[in-house]
Structures are given as structure tokens and as C-alpha cells.
């Protein structure tokens, strides 16, 4: 059917009508070209070139379709991976925010504990200093008392020695020995 339509179109063409002499003649170049063209197209159809070209075009279309499907699958996979990375990035950001918040809380707690430890240490040092002061004060008072006792004993000895006679001294020694014996037994 195509062949007849093509032949009819060629027969009604302008250059074919412009030739001189009878159209259907081997001396007419237009007719010879038309016959050669029809033979060429017939050979192409006989050899199945349109079918081969159709198959090649179908294969090419199938290849393009499979490439498009593959590209679509790759795009979907890339979107899935991107969504996964965005989700992971969000989780990492949330985790880092929690870590920073925990670090701040720990630092705040460590600061408060350091203040408490410092106060306790200062109270211990103050108590130790007060104990040292009290001890030094007690030692000084004791030394003053001991010195006062020594001075009082020396003064009393001098006073007693000047006023006491030998008999009184012997009597005092005997009383002291009796007192010591009573306290030891």
C-alpha cells in the first residue's frame, strides 16, 4: 500500500511532467530514475530493512527505557540515602546538644562541689588554727603560771628561810615525811 502511494506521488511529481517526450520510455531519464528508485525501495522491502530498522529502533527504545528506569531507581536510592543521612545528621545534632547540656550540668555540679569542698577545707583550717591558738594560749598561760609558781616558791623559800629556825625546819620536814607516807600508803 505504501508502495503504491509512493509510486503515485512520484508519477504526479513536477519534474516528471517537465520532461520532453513520452514519459514511459527508457530514453526519458526521469522514468529511468523512477524505475531505479522503485527497484531500490523494493529491494529494501524485500530484504526486510524496514523490519530491521524497526527492531533496531525498538531495541534502542527499550535500552533508553531501561536506562530511564535505572536512573529512576538510582534517584530513589539517592533520595533514600539522603534522607538517611539527614536523619543521622539530625540525631547527631540532638546527641551533641545533649552532650553539651550534660557537660554544662556536670561542670555546674563540679563547681558547686568545689565550693562545698573549699568551705569544708576552710572550716577545717580555721578549726586547726583556732586549736593552735588555744594550745599556744594554754601553753603561754601554763608557762606564766609555772614561772609565777617558781617565783612564789622562791620568794616563799626566802621568806621561810629568813623566819624559820632549825627546830621549826626539822619539825616541818617531819610533817612533810608523814604527809607523803600517808599519801603513798
Q: Which domain holds residue 152?
A: 145-184
Q: How far apart are alpha carbons 17 and 21 in whole angstroms?
A: 10
| Residue 163 included in any domain | yes
pLDDT of residue 58: 96
pLDDT in tens, 23-38: 777 788 898 999 999 9
| Residue 167 included in any domain | yes
| Residue 74 included in any domain | no
Contact 164, 172 (CB under 8 A): yes
Instruction: Give the total number of structural domains in the chain.
Output: 1
Lowest mean pLDDT among 1-15, 78-92, 103-117: 1-15
The contacts of residue 86 (CB under 8 Å, 6+ apart) are none
| Residue 158 included in any domain | yes
The contacts of residue 137 (CB under 8 Å, 6+ apart) are none
Q: How far apart are alpha carbons 88 and 78 in whole angstroms?
A: 15
Amino acid at each position: 500500500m505504501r508502495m503504491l502511494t509512493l509510486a503515485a506521488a512520484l508519477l504526479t511529481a513536477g519534474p516528471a511532467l517537465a520532461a520532453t517526450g513520452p514519459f514511459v520510455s527508457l530514453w526519458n531519464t526521469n522514468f529511468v530514475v523512477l524505475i531505479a528508485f522503485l527497484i531500490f525501495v523494493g529491494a529494501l522491502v524485500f530484504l526486510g530493512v524496514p523490519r530491521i530498522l524497526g527492531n533496531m529502533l525498538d531495541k534502542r527504545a527499550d535500552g533508553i527505557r531501561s536506562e530511564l528506569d535505572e536512573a529512576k531507581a538510582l534517584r530513589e536510592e539517592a533520595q533514600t540515602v539522603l534522607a538517611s543521612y539527614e536523619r543521622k545528621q539530625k540525631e547527631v545534632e540532638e546527641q551533641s546538644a545533649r552532650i553539651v547540656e550534660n557537660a554544662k550540668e556536670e561542670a555546674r555540679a563540679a563547681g558547686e562541689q568545689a565550693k562545698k569542698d573549699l568551705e569544708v577545707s576552710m572550716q577545717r583550717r580555721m578549726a586547726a588554727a583556732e586549736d593552735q591558738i588555744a594550745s599556744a594560749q594554754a601553753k603561754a598561760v601554763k608557762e606564766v603560771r609555772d614561772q609565777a609558781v617558781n617565783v612564789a616558791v622562791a620568794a616563799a623559800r626566802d621568806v621561810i628561810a629568813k623566819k624559820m629556825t632549825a627546830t621549826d625546819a626539822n619539825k616541818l620536814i617531819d610533817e612533810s615525811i608523814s604527809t607523803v607516807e600517808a599519801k603513798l600508803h
